[in-house]
Structure 1
């Protein structure tokens, strides 16, 4: 059982870490470099994206022949963690949701024509994308198959879409969209995934939903579909294959969230350590206080547990598994420890941690959505309980290597 990184992956990780340290971290410190939605301003983003490309660190999830780095999921886990030491990091490397998941699924299941038209511009950084799945009540959330209300009806050589989506990440800036809609009432083959361009008529952004923030580029939007027409060549994988497309997309996308959240959790601990080593109280550094040590030690351990779960899930995906169990465990553990890490970091900072003098309040507000997005914690726990009931003691089996 080998827990070491391949040498080339470690070299990439170090180069990404150095780029983040030298080129991205300095921008974080000045609020003039934040846009109105509390992310990096566009002119700095475009400059940094060019520098990332020049450094050969662009789109780590994509094959080299498509302009990416060609990393495995294990390699991505190491590198994404390093990217998100900075809150501005992942978007600079073209490794942020929802583009990340959209690129991976289109690379895996798209036709060559779809890859050329819909995928390559995202890989190149010329357009942004969105994945339109979630609906307001009584529509689909975690129960996608059973509750989907948005419908696509066949009319001649077109599909006509009517429905309502919301909390669609990145939709405010996206040009390329993936849309999940119901095409029949079949319990297993009732959903289909479609591609469409921002300029196609028959849909609108109703609003950019105000959130606790901060926001990803493009926000979280509410969309209305009223007669959007889509031809057959913009169907992904095939009519009725929407659940399969979603399964292929969601597991890697959930895991890349976890990879990035681990970087943020470590950043919170970095901020906490810097403060408690420096801050004196009652004649000693806070770092020498036993209660402070207990808090920091517990979070450090839980971050390492999260890293181990993420790496196991990444390895399973690289072996061709859907890794549903492994990804769910990682999602629960890492979303929890991100929230705990930043909460502890703010606590040891006192009032300063609650201010905008540190990055912690930004991470704190961002972290709360981690336990909701891509399946709430309770949904993943329910899935794990079902697997436990089905597998019994085999739930904890070891994979055995070939001799």
Structure 2
């Protein structure tokens, strides 16, 4: 692959960076810009989103004919990294999870009617969305095909859903939902994907689950389904294609997490390098100390390794490859990179880093989820082990 960005993509990247610098980063220093869950306040967000739309930086991952920017996956990698130099960044551009992954999935597999009804309002920023998969023990987590307990049964021309889900990101703020439920006991074709609206009866939010870190808009919720009825037109793909739908969604969604986390990692080092360059101790700036240089150099190295893995996976996705190995590698490495970069930045800032005078403590609490969301790191390593056992030396083959 060619690591040089096409000029048109680099132009968008530069514009995103400038927008983050001038419009979003200043908000992090304003207590009034935060909501009660430590995210950007809704009223402030709407103002910033309007500016992003006016600047032509809205929904860059979606087709131009639907009002997006038409970026491919490589372009997304470059621009998402710039967006998440701010803790508020991605949502301001309509590029935050879970909306981002849901839009990508609906755009790839939805019918034209489904795109108009369910996708276009998300692209336009009129509604938020959520994907409903994970269940409480003993239900599905990393093994949805084998453990999903929520069931949808056909009754007449409707599918009727009963079950319970939890840690559903964004559910409290969402209007459009993608729901995974069991429709048969077939080990590979037993799950199906459905679309439903928040106003449909037969389901409820049981609670918003408190978490250790700052929350996405809409939180992480526990849902109960006690007779939700879904018409046939709102089946996404075909009955039995639910596992396929999740694989299509998660391939890109896992990688977009990596893209954003790399931006946050770089921001942590920005804060660290600025501080150690001016902070004096024992007669010289901290940046002149060999121990500090080693910490910064290693963190910078790890970020670049994560970027290369992420960009390779993005490139393979753009070639039509599923890039399962590459996405898993990036997900494992970048989750660790994020934690390391922020931890180093806190250490080098001392008590200042542990305080709320910088966003580092916010970032540190947020970063711990990286090793869990969209598949725990251990699961991705198991996936890589399976590929190694099947492919042997071909695990590292060059594409020709």
State the TM-score bracket (shorter-chain normalisation).
over 0.9
Give the structure 2 partner of residue 251 of structure 1.
251
Q: Deviations over 1:71-106 (max 9, x none)?
A: 000000000000000011100000000000000000
Give the structure 2 partner of residue 348 of structure 1.
348
Give the structure 1 partner of residue 188 of structure 2.
188
Give the structure 1 partner of residue 176 of structure 2.
176
Q: What does residue range 138-153 of structure 1 map to in structure 2 within 5 Å?
A: 138-153=138-153
Give the structure 2 partner of residue 321 of structure 1.
321
Give the structure 2 partner of residue 276 of structure 1.
276
Q: Deviations over 1:333-357 (max 9, x none)?
A: 0000000000010001111101000
Q: Tell me the CA shift for residue 358 of structure 1.
A: 0.4
User: Residue 172 of structure 1: SS of its match in structure 2?
Assistant: helix
Give the structure 2 partner of residue 303 of structure 1.
303
Give the TM-score, by structure 1 length: 0.99
How far apart, CA to CA, are the structure 2 residues paired with 1:149 and 1:59?
Answer: 34
How far apart, CA to CA, are the structure 2 residues paired with 1:145 and 1:343?
Answer: 36
Q: Deviations over 1:189-225 (max 9, x none)?
A: 1000000000000000000000002001110000000
How far apart, CA to CA, are the structure 1 residues paired with 2:44 and 2:173?
Answer: 17
User: Residue 35 of structure 1: SS of its match in structure 2?
Assistant: coil
Give the structure 2 partner of residue 263 of structure 1.
263
In the alignment, structure 2 segments of 5+ residues that lack a partner are none
How far apart, CA to CA, are the structure 2 residues paired with 1:354 and 1:79?
Answer: 29
How far apart, CA to CA, are the structure 2 residues paired with 1:265 and 1:102?
Answer: 25
How far apart, CA to CA, are the structure 2 residues paired with 1:311 and 1:31?
Answer: 35
Give the structure 1 partner of residue 124 of structure 2.
124
Q: What does residue range 149-160 of structure 1 map to in structure 2 within 5 Å?
A: 149-160=149-160
How far apart, CA to CA, are the structure 2 residues paired with 1:213 and 1:98?
Answer: 17
How far apart, CA to CA, are the structure 2 residues paired with 1:312 and 1:388?
Answer: 19
User: Residue 171 of structure 2: SS of its match in structure 1?
Assistant: coil
How far apart, CA to CA, are the structure 2 residues paired with 1:276 and 1:390?
Answer: 48
Determine if the alignment matches structure 1 residue 92 to structure 2 residue 97. no
How far apart, CA to CA, are the structure 1 residues paired with 2:211 and 2:245?
Answer: 28
Q: Tell me the CA shift for residue 280 of structure 1.
A: 0.6
How far apart, CA to CA, are the structure 1 residues paired with 2:43 and 2:109?
Answer: 34
Q: Tell me the CA shift for residue 2 of structure 1.
A: 1.8
**Count of aligned residue pairs for this structure pair:** 400
Give the structure 1 partner of residue 228 of structure 2.
228
Give the TM-score, by structure 2 length: 0.99
Q: Deviations over 1:347-392 (max 9, x none)?
A: 0111110100001000000000000000000000010011111111
Segments of 4+ moved more than 3 angstroms? none
